Chain A
Amino acid sequence: MINRLRQKFDAKWMAIAAAVGILVLFVVLPMLYLIWRSVFIDGAFNFATYKQVYAQSANWKAFANTFYISLVVTFVSIAISFPLAWLVGRTDLPGKGFFRTTFIASYMIPPYVGAIAWTQLLNPSVGYLNEWLVSVFKLSKAPFDIYGMGGLIWCLTLFYSPFAFITISRALEKMDPSLEEASRVAGASPLVTLWRVTLPLMFPSIIAGGVLVFIGVGSAFGIPAIIGMPAQIEVLTTRIVTYVYLGTGKGIRDATALAVSLMIAANFVLYASTWLLTRKDYVTISGKSTRPNLVELRGWKWPLTFLVSLYGFVAIFLPLASIAVTSLIKSLSRPISLDNLTIDAWLAALKNDQYMTPLWTSFVTGAAAATVATAIAVFIAYLLVKTRMRGRTIPDGLATLGGATPSIVIALALIITFSGEFGLNLYNTFGILIVAYMVKYLTMAVRTIAASLSQVHSSLEEAALNSGATWLQSLRDIMLPLIGPSIVAGWFLVFMPSFYELTMSIILYGSQTKTIGVLLYELQTYADPQDASVLAVIILIIILVGNIILRKVSKGAIGI
């Protein structure tokens, strides 16, 4: 008996220790080393790097731009998402189920694909939408130019506001509808109820959604690089990449200082919001779940349906259509018509090794990252949910830290840490890509698996141990089958964003390890919109298939 107990604990401890060890090596060490490198020069504490970096007005400007753009996009996103979430969740808006799925699904579109699409739509000389507007309204010149502050904010809002929409509409679904009904019987109209009960109760999730948007936009690279850089609008991420591309020691040092600034700003916002939210912790006893009483829109019904449809059309349909049409068009200078479409570009692209190799690289590195991350996530989630061990929340905290850290910061930290400094040289290897994806997206798998594990009562596992199984046997025979679907879901939640990752890949890839995101970015900057579009459609199809599998496996509970 004693022997068996020891065996059980040994296996458990070793598995968990290994998971924690990997996190310390790949999350804690690189981050600390990044900070250390930014303030120690030749072993002496020195703020010179920061002084030097912020002495340049371009860097100051980038910092200010990042802050300004993030703030504006956050406010616009909330202003769009809350009404949308309310219309879709609480009113008799026709087709709201479809709208809801569509808005959530737009989260699947990689932001840089969105940026490519909008450069096609609102390019001042040949943008489809511009041309259409010119011909319909008989304008003398294109009404919009995507390359500018307005275009940048527009595109970021479209592709980052789903963070706010998802957070807000989930919270709205979880809210006990009788809280609103109580206000109605108390004599308040639907609008008064919305203002005095729903909105204040949603405040914490509005803040949480806003923080996601703020940090997401502040760490974004794809859209600012594709839309902002041609317009000479720089943000922190684009500055960092530029410095890294200089390839000099000084360039890396300057990038490091900027990255630490970004990391501190992101963490400050995160902790400030957490602090604000814990002070407004609303716990409600929930009764039987009744269907929420739907607010009748009456005369507003069709005008609002039109507005929501228009938003869906512009935010999601137009960019996707633009990419698809561009991938098929024969001559970009002629108008869109059936006889101007061809699949030649597709055939050429599919036979082109320069395109297919990166696609395969992304597939393999994404799958490897997902597999390693899922395996580690099982142990972290087990430690978090099923044990009472002291410090059980630390690994989960580290995974969350990785997820909350801006991608560019992770990438830079990995470069400086694993270029041989600590005996491990991953520079220009598949390994560094896999590690980067794992660090960034591990938390997705941990969250999913932990949620599923908490549904499995510990008595099920205890019954297995009682029946004489070792811990590993009970894990294999009882726990894993029960949480199986969430493990598959967790795998896809890591795989998909890794597959189309751009921000980290752009500074971590080597000549042999170019990823599909990087390739697409290059094609866009070297002005080959058609091949870029073909690859973008391929990426979208793979994401769509992955998401369908994910929904099937999780029975609709989880989608990316």
Chain B
Amino acid sequence: MAEIILQSVSKHFGEVKAVDNFVATVGDGEFVSILGPSGCGKTTMLRMVAGFEKPTAGEIYIGDRLVSSPAKGIFVPPEKRSIGMVFQSYAVWPHMSVFDNVGYPLKIKGLPKTEIADRTNTALDLVHLNGLAQRLPSQLSGGQQQRVALARALVAEPDLLLLDEPLSNLDAKLRESMRFEIKELQKKLGVTVIYVTHDQAEAMAMSDRIVVMNAGVIQQIGNPVDVYETPANKTIADFIGLVNFLTAEAGEGGVAVPALGRTVPAPSGLTGKAVAAVRPEQIALAAPGTGIAGTVIHKSYLGDAVDWRIEVGGETVRVIAPAAAFREIGAGQNIGLVVDKIMIFPA
């Protein structure tokens, strides 16, 4: 097992900075996600850790070993990094059986046949594929191929497991169950994981910490609670979860949010135009005449909840409330709002 140190890692293609000055440490046995929109540089970062891309600057350590440093002229090729990796396309070799796919890393190491068989079968058990060892990949479902890829990545007991959007080709239900399965496996084996995804729910459900990236630059590093509840900036607040943005003005005595008729303490150094951000589930509905006065514009029944659009002080806010609440109130009628938590960002 290993600690991963990423020291000011950059990957520039001429003027384009795919990854710029990436600084992070992944603790031994930690599960860290790199989260960001497509094209933000997260996959490039992962491929630099794997050894498929050469950084243009910075250093990468896996354990005590410096595996990449352009300044010192060090570059360890992928096959010498003892890494396990799961690819978005699974990359299960179609010409080999499940057993041969999973046993391949051990075969390359030149281990004796009996040991290969034992450890391969153990890995297959781990991902619940026992019994399918002799199948060819074309006879497997997408979810099963995914498990083959996972078993192959784990069979050689790597120091580090890299996952590149491994769930994005699966259907929604399977994706959710695989989240827990991967997390359970990681806990059981104690392997260090770097997980790349653009799906915030996936990142939050599995990670110890999340690195939020945008345009090649780290925006915030923190645990799921930090990232969701105290996002470092407006972009992150918008990217992770749903959010209402309301106009605000920072002045003496705090930040005024006219639509909500509230003034909240200003973050240090903020003056002039600002943005107030409120998550839809952090607004509670109240009987008309109580709380902040609003008018219902539209409501959509979602089954487990109702998605409300409510006009308050000339702006529209979205509220997600339990389905049973205020069934009798419809479009055009008045309703009250109670706002729990307001985040303030520079405009």
Which residues of A are at the interface with B, using a C-beta cutoff of 8 A? 176, 178-179, 181-189, 192, 196-197, 200-201, 203, 280-288, 290, 293
The interface residues of chain A lying within 8 Å CB-to-CB of B94 are 201, 282-284
Q: Is B81 interfacial (CB 8 A cutoff)?
A: yes
Write the chain B residue with the least CB distance to A293.
B52
Kindly state the separation between the CA atoms of A189 and B88 in the bound complex, as whole angstroms. 22
The interface residues of chain B lying within 8 Å CB-to-CB of A197 are 93
Write the chain B residue with the least CB distance to A179.
B91
Residues of B155-169 contacting chain A, CB below 8 A:
156, 162, 165, 169
Write the chain B residue with the least CB distance to A184.
B78
The interface residues of chain B lying within 8 Å CB-to-CB of A185 are 50-51, 78-79, 81, 83-85, 153, 162
Q: Nearest Cβ in chain A — how far from B140, in angstroms?
A: 11
The listed residue with most B CB atoms (<10 A of its CB), out of A179, A187, A189, A286, is A187
Q: Is B239 interfacial (CB 8 A cutoff)?
A: no
Q: Is B108 interfacial (CB 8 A cutoff)?
A: yes
Q: Nearest Cβ in chain B — how far from A485, in angstroms?
A: 29
Q: Is B89 interfacial (CB 8 A cutoff)?
A: yes
The interface residues of chain A lying within 8 Å CB-to-CB of B95 are 200-201, 203, 280, 282
Q: Is B142 interfacial (CB 8 A cutoff)?
A: yes
The interface residues of chain A lying within 8 Å CB-to-CB of B47 are 290
Kindly state the separation between the CA atoms of A282 and B88 in the bound complex, as whole angstroms. 18
Write the chain B residue with the least CB distance to A200.
B95
B108 with A285: CB separation less than 8 A = no
Kindly state the separation between the CA atoms of A182 and B146 in the bound complex, as whole angstroms. 13
The interface residues of chain A lying within 8 Å CB-to-CB of B149 are 182
Q: Is B105 interfacial (CB 8 A cutoff)?
A: yes
Categorize the interface residue count of chain B. 35 or more
Partner of B91, one of A182, A196, A200, A280: A182
Q: Is B10 interfacial (CB 8 A cutoff)?
A: no
Q: Nearest Cβ in chain A — how far from B119, in angstroms?
A: 13
Q: Nearest Cβ in chain B — how far from A267, in angstroms?
A: 28
Q: Is B138 interfacial (CB 8 A cutoff)?
A: yes
Q: Nearest Cβ in chain B — how far from A184, in angstroms?
A: 4
Partner of B104, one of A183, A189, A293: A183
Partner of B77, one of A179, A182, A184, A288: A184
Write the chain B residue with the least CB distance to A296.
B77
Write the chain A residue with the least CB distance to B90.
A285
Residues of B70-98 contacting chain A, CB below 8 A:
77-85, 87-95
B87 with A188: CB separation less than 8 A = no
A178 with B91: CB separation less than 8 A = yes
The interface residues of chain B lying within 8 Å CB-to-CB of A176 are 89, 91
A192 with B91: CB separation less than 8 A = no
In the complex, 6 of the A-B residue pairs with CB atoms within 8 angstroms, ordered by the A residue number, are: A181-B52, A186-B152, A187-B82, A280-B95, A281-B138, A283-B138
B87 with A284: CB separation less than 8 A = no
The interface residues of chain B lying within 8 Å CB-to-CB of A203 are 95
The interface residues of chain A lying within 8 Å CB-to-CB of B89 are 176, 178, 284-288
The interface residues of chain B lying within 8 Å CB-to-CB of A280 are 95
Q: Nearest Cβ in chain A — how far from B54, in angstroms?
A: 10
Q: Nearest Cβ in chain B — how far from A271, in angstroms?
A: 23
A181 with B108: CB separation less than 8 A = no
A287 with B88: CB separation less than 8 A = yes
B169 with A285: CB separation less than 8 A = yes
Q: Is B295 interfacial (CB 8 A cutoff)?
A: no
Write the chain B residue with the least CB distance to A176.
B89
Kindly state the separation between the CA atoms of A514 and B81 in the bound complex, as whole angstroms. 67
Since A182-B149, A287-B87 are in contact, a sample of 14 more A-B pairs with Cβ atoms closer than 8 Å, ordered by chain A residue number, is A182-B85, A182-B91, A183-B104, A185-B79, A186-B104, A186-B105, A187-B80, A187-B82, A188-B104, A189-B79, A197-B93, A282-B138, A283-B138, A285-B142
The interface residues of chain A lying within 8 Å CB-to-CB of B165 are 287
Write the chain B residue with the least CB distance to A294.
B52
B91 with A184: CB separation less than 8 A = no
Partner of A187, one of B90, B93, B108: B108
Kindly state the separation between the CA atoms of A189 and B80 in the bound complex, as whole angstroms. 9
Kindly state the separation between the CA atoms of A184 and B94 in the bound complex, as whole angstroms. 16
Q: Nearest Cβ in chain B — how far from A280, in angstroms?
A: 8
Partner of A184, one of B43, B79, B156: B79
Q: Is B109 interfacial (CB 8 A cutoff)?
A: yes
The interface residues of chain B lying within 8 Å CB-to-CB of A189 are 77, 79
Kindly state the separation between the CA atoms of A107 and B166 in the bound complex, as whole angstroms. 41
Closest 4 CB pairs of A and B: A287-B89, A287-B88, A186-B105, A182-B91
A181 with B79: CB separation less than 8 A = no
Kindly state the separation between the CA atoms of A200 and B169 in the bound complex, as whole angstroms. 25
The interface residues of chain A lying within 8 Å CB-to-CB of B93 are 179, 182-183, 197, 201
Q: Is B214 interfacial (CB 8 A cutoff)?
A: no
B108 with A188: CB separation less than 8 A = yes
The interface residues of chain A lying within 8 Å CB-to-CB of B152 are 182, 186
The interface residues of chain B lying within 8 Å CB-to-CB of A288 are 88-89
The interface residues of chain B lying within 8 Å CB-to-CB of A286 are 89
Kindly state the separation between the CA atoms of A287 and B90 in the bound complex, as whole angstroms. 8
Given A178-B91, A182-B87, A285-B169: A188 touches B52 (CB 8 Å cut-off): no
Partner of B87, one of A181, A192, A201, A282: A181
B91 with A187: CB separation less than 8 A = no
The interface residues of chain B lying within 8 Å CB-to-CB of A186 are 79, 104-105, 108, 152, 156
Partner of A178, one of B80, B84, B88, B109: B88
The interface residues of chain A lying within 8 Å CB-to-CB of B79 are 184-189
B145 with A285: CB separation less than 8 A = yes
The listed residue with most B CB atoms (<10 A of its CB), out of A186, A188, A285, is A186
Kindly state the separation between the CA atoms of A184 and B156 in the bound complex, as whole angstroms. 13
The interface residues of chain B lying within 8 Å CB-to-CB of A281 are 138
Kindly state the separation between the CA atoms of A187 and B91 in the bound complex, as whole angstroms. 15
Q: Nearest Cβ in chain B — how far from A208, in angstroms?
A: 16
B87 with A187: CB separation less than 8 A = no
Kindly state the separation between the CA atoms of A203 and B91 in the bound complex, as whole angstroms. 18
Q: Nearest Cβ in chain A — how far from B310, in angstroms?
A: 38
Kindly state the separation between the CA atoms of A188 and B101 in the bound complex, as whole angstroms. 13
The interface residues of chain A lying within 8 Å CB-to-CB of B84 are 185
The interface residues of chain A lying within 8 Å CB-to-CB of B77 are 184, 189
Kindly state the separation between the CA atoms of A186 and B151 in the bound complex, as whole angstroms. 12
The interface residues of chain B lying within 8 Å CB-to-CB of A181 are 50, 52, 78, 85, 87, 91
Kindly state the separation between the CA atoms of A7 and B190 in the bound complex, as whole angstroms. 71
Kindly state the separation between the CA atoms of A286 and B87 in the bound complex, as whole angstroms. 10
The listed residue with most A CB atoms (<10 A of its CB), out of B91, B92, B94, B142, is B91
A287 with B50: CB separation less than 8 A = no
Kindly state the separation between the CA atoms of A187 and B111 in the bound complex, as whole angstroms. 13
Kindly state the separation between the CA atoms of A290 and B169 in the bound complex, as whole angstroms. 16
Given A184-B79, A197-B93, A293-B52: A192 touches B85 (CB 8 Å cut-off): no
The interface residues of chain A lying within 8 Å CB-to-CB of B108 are 186-188, 192
Q: Nearest Cβ in chain B — how far from A206, in angstroms?
A: 13
Residues of B104-124 contacting chain A, CB below 8 A:
104-105, 108-109
The interface residues of chain A lying within 8 Å CB-to-CB of B83 are 185
Residues of B51-67 contacting chain A, CB below 8 A:
51-52
